[in-house]
Structure 1
Amino acid sequence: MFTDSINFIYIVIFIAPFAVLRFYPFLDKLRISVKTLLLLYFVLILVQASLFCFATRQPFWDLSMTQRYQLTFSIFNSILSFFLVREKIVKQIFVWGIAFSLAGFIMTNANFVESLFFARFTDSVPYYTFTNIISALQIIIIFPFAIKHMKQNVRPALQIASGKSWHIVWIIFILLYSGTFLTTGGLGFDRSDTLYDYLIRIFCFGSIIGSSVIFSVALKQTGENIHLEEKANLSERQLALEREYFQAIVAHIDETKAARHDLRHHLTLLQAYSAEGKKQELEDYIGQYLQTVAEDSTIILCKNYAVDTIVRHYIEKSKRAGIQADVLLNLPEKITIAESDLCVVFGNLLENSLEACTRQKTGEKFITVSAALVGEYIIITIDNSYEGSILKENDVFLSSKRDGKGIGITSVQAVSDKYYGEVKFEFSDQIFRSSVMLKQ
């Protein structure tokens, strides 16, 4: 009975902690709920551990068969995990490689200790006793750092980076695992009873863990640099808008001063026509004057200063590019949502729309902008024409300018989350529709 307990614990230690590492970075990409996943793995571990206890009691069983048993269930669990996660296979291989290598590192250490000391206690201590003890101690020490690494580095890298960078990850695993197999004749953790095999496996698993840490930290830093660049670009756009709006106000003031100066002369002549009763001349002069009055180019689109400024900026750029622009804004002057956040939403969505229309070679180019306060929610919709295909991966829109998520869309989503809102993107018939709802 005691031996069965040791064998049962051995399987639990071999599977449970590393399954946590395998799924932790993909909690938001699971095809099933976390509760269902926990229940599923509870049953799988129970079945695997029970079968292992039963098998080890059979006369045909020996320690060499443990390796094949572990390998069989490892393959099954790996295939199952790939099915349960809705993410690109190369990213899953990356996380699987970290979890498997950490399991290999810990179990290799434990099995090596077992091979050194078990012979002395063969009559009193069941096999895997030392393996369980050493494995548990390592897990207690290493796992807090592993979870922290998954949270701080791996998850951000998975969320931000995509594309060519991930296509080289599997090469690291293949080369190191192949080297280990060729030099020691296998990859099993139990095959570490000699110092040579032990050191080869520790080098293999340690190298993969180290390479994975460096790779994920580098990708995370790349993503952070992109966000900083986008933030700097957004600040520059805001300053440019402020300068443009200020220049427009100054020009409008100068025009107003000149108009007031000229108005005195016009009124003097009009007064003279009226006093002399020259009605026809008066009407003709008024008609001529109205034709010479320039149309006001600084039309106020919205009472809210921030929205009016940024929308007018992009609409004017659109018109200069030959893009049909229609605007209907019905927002009050005072809104509880920060002007900087409104700038993020309108600026990013309009810039994306302008870029899509600019790349369009055929068909009608248009951008339609509408926004209104409905109850306690601000509803924003922006439609634009586009040409070609939309880059999308697992319900995530990818940037057309670089590998990875579209930073502008990600920023809009962040603002929406901040104000307990919702973002929706749809595309059909060469029309891309963006809808944002923000709660005041």
Structure 2
Amino acid sequence: MKDILRPILELSVVLPGLLLAYFPVKSYLKQSPGKLAARILPLIAGLCIGGGIVCYQLHASTASALAGITLLAIGLYTGTLQISLWKSGTIALTVCAVFACINSLSRAISVAIALHMQLPQDEPWFCLAACVFYNIVCWILVLTAFYPSTRAVRVMVEDDNFAQTWYVFWVLPLVFIFLNLFMIPRYQTTLRTGRVLQGYIVISIALLVLLLWFNAIFLLMATSLNRNARLQQENQLLFMQQQRYENLKASIEEVRQARHDMRHQLNQISALAETGDLEGLKSYLEKNISRIPNLGIHFCENRAVDSVIGYYCALAKREDIPFCAKLDLPQTLPIDEINMCLVLSNLLENALEASIRTAQDRRQIKITAYLHAERLLLIEVENAYDGEIREKDGVFQSSKRKGNGVGIQSIQHIAEKSGGASTFAYQNGAFCAKVMLCG
């Protein structure tokens, strides 16, 4: 019974590894955790038991079975998440790297136990005590990592500002995996020679500590970069508010000057009327009406939204692009203002850039926003565009860079994270974006 239990225990470490990988991505599951666990856990557990029995019957190493089950688990893991492959793959590789270090340490512990108990040298698996040690350390690691992985790591995964770093970080856990594979001796007797075992234990512990330290540094760096990116976004909003304030000051000055000149203008109108010069009166009125500033001072009660809309309205007027805003938003909104302003900024920036590339007579930007059922914010932005819209697998491609539009991806992510949705459509030369944010 003990002999058949050893390979099963060695393979069963896939279970805590899979659980650990799911901790930071719980909000990205394609189905409920209960249904997912009911489908995956019995499958993986069955494969571990069956693989262990086969290895016992064949008296073979569990390396091939462990590699196969691990690759299958990674495939199931990445396939059950609504998240980029870079993020899910990097998380899976990181967990594999940590468990590979524990595997090397457990291998050394197994040899030490075998030497102490004077067990045969040709055992194909870890001894039973080493298998128990292997599983206990893995489960302790899962319990220890529960809080940071469901808090700090989850925030890092959900933040798009750190997305580019995922493209390179996967190299680090891959290096540690290969190092641990390279350390595995071809024969167990190698570890029993001289002081090789002591060195193997020291190197295994050093690799494990070094990997955990690198992961902690990466997490701290991610937190710092995300905080800086958040501050940059807030500074951008403050800049928009400053620009909005300057525009309001200029408009107020124009109104003050117009009021100051009102008496002179009325006297001139009275003189033209007394002389009966209707043509002169008409010409004078047309000239002064054209000088009346089109202020558009106030768009809605919410100051943050008003600043963003005012900023892009000024940019649109500078480019002679008709800008129509219909906003019905109260001063306080149930939506996170930073995310809301990011969505508005991305939508209006895309609309502005598209309108600049459109014929003068077709240029227009229309934005509508209002609250629905007190907790839903509905935003719709429509603009004309004469260029070619590229679409792949239902996702609009960026015209400024290779790949998908970063702005559109950011909008979709913010909408989904709030529990809302977003749709984009291009038809008859008009691009329409609709976003729903939930409070």
TM-score range (shorter-chain normalised) is 0.7 to 0.9
Q: Name the counterpart of 2:95.
A: 99
Deviation at 1:312, TM superposition (A): 4.6
Is 2:117 the counterpart of 1:114?
no
Deviation at 1:133, TM superposition (A): 4.3
Taking a change above 3 Å as real, the CA distance of residues 114 and 162 of structure 1, as seen in their structure-2 partners, is same
Q: Name the counterpart of 2:14.
A: 15
TM-score by length of 2: 0.75
Per-residue CA deviations over 1:205-227 (Å, capped at 9, x if unaligned) read: 55444434434443443333222
Deviation at 1:258, TM superposition (A): 1.4
Taking a change above 3 Å as real, the CA distance of residues 267 and 176 of structure 1, as seen in their structure-2 partners, is same
Taking a change above 3 Å as real, the CA distance of residues 405 and 221 of structure 1, as seen in their structure-2 partners, is farther
Distance 1:218 1:269 in 2: 74
Per-residue CA deviations over 1:136-177 (Å, capped at 9, x if unaligned) read: 553454334433443445444444257764443444345444
Q: Name the counterpart of 1:253.
A: 256
Q: Name the counterpart of 2:349.
A: 351
Deviation at 1:354, TM superposition (A): 1.9
Whichever residue aligns with residue 195 of structure 1, its letter is Q
Distance 1:397 1:368 in 2: 22
Is 2:229 the counterpart of 1:226?
yes
Per-residue CA deviations over 1:381-426 (Å, capped at 9, x if unaligned) read: 11234546679999799996999995797589759977x7x34141
Distance 2:140 2:336 in 1: 44
Deviation at 1:24, TM superposition (A): 2.9
Q: Name the counterpart of 1:74.
A: 70
> In structure 1, which of residues 244, 249, 252 is the aligned counterpart of residue 247 of structure 2?
244
1:373-388 matched pairs, under 5 angstroms: 376=374, 379-385=378-384, 387=387
Secondary structure, counterpart of 1:237 in structure 2:
helix
> 8 Å contact 1:113–1:131 — kept in the other structure?
yes
Secondary structure, counterpart of 1:293 in structure 2:
helix
Taking a change above 3 Å as real, the CA distance of residues 195 and 55 of structure 1, as seen in their structure-2 partners, is farther
Q: Name the counterpart of 1:168.
A: 168
CA RMSD, Structure 1 to Structure 2 (Å): 4.5
Per-residue CA deviations over 1:75-96 (Å, capped at 9, x if unaligned) read: 3323333443454444333212
Deviation at 1:23, TM superposition (A): 2.8
> 8 Å contact 1:10–1:132 — kept in the other structure?
yes
TM-score by length of 1: 0.74
| Unmatched segments (≥5 aa) in structure 2 | 120-124
Q: Name the counterpart of 1:314.
A: 312
> 8 Å contact 1:94–1:169 — kept in the other structure?
yes
Taking a change above 3 Å as real, the CA distance of residues 254 and 355 of structure 1, as seen in their structure-2 partners, is same
Distance 1:140 1:405 in 2: 41
Per-residue CA deviations over 1:54-90 (Å, capped at 9, x if unaligned) read: 34664x52xx623333233223323333443454444
Q: Name the counterpart of 2:368.
A: 370
Report the identity percentage: 15
1:20-419 matched pairs, under 5 angstroms: 20-52=19-51, 54-55=53-54, 58=57, 60-61=58-59, 65-118=61-114, 120=116, 128-139=127-138, 141-159=140-158, 160=160, 165-182=165-182, 184-185=184-185, 194-264=197-267, 266-267=269-270, 270=273, 273=274, 281=276, 283-284=278-279, 286-295=281-290, 296-300=292-296, 304=300, 306=303, 310-323=308-321, 325-329=322-326, 331=328, 334-337=330-333, 341=337, 346-358=344-356, 360=357, 365-371=363-369, 376=374, 379-385=378-384, 387=387, 406=406, 410=410
Aligned residue pairs total 420
Distance 2:142 2:73 in 1: 20
| Unmatched segments (≥5 aa) in structure 1 | none
Distance 2:295 2:240 in 1: 21
Distance 1:34 1:133 in 2: 28
Distance 1:132 1:77 in 2: 20
Deviation at 1:28, TM superposition (A): 3.9
Secondary structure, counterpart of 1:65 in structure 2:
coil
Distance 2:261 2:413 in 1: 47
Secondary structure, counterpart of 2:61 in structure 1:
helix
Taking a change above 3 Å as real, the CA distance of residues 54 and 350 of structure 1, as seen in their structure-2 partners, is closer
Distance 1:338 1:247 in 2: 32
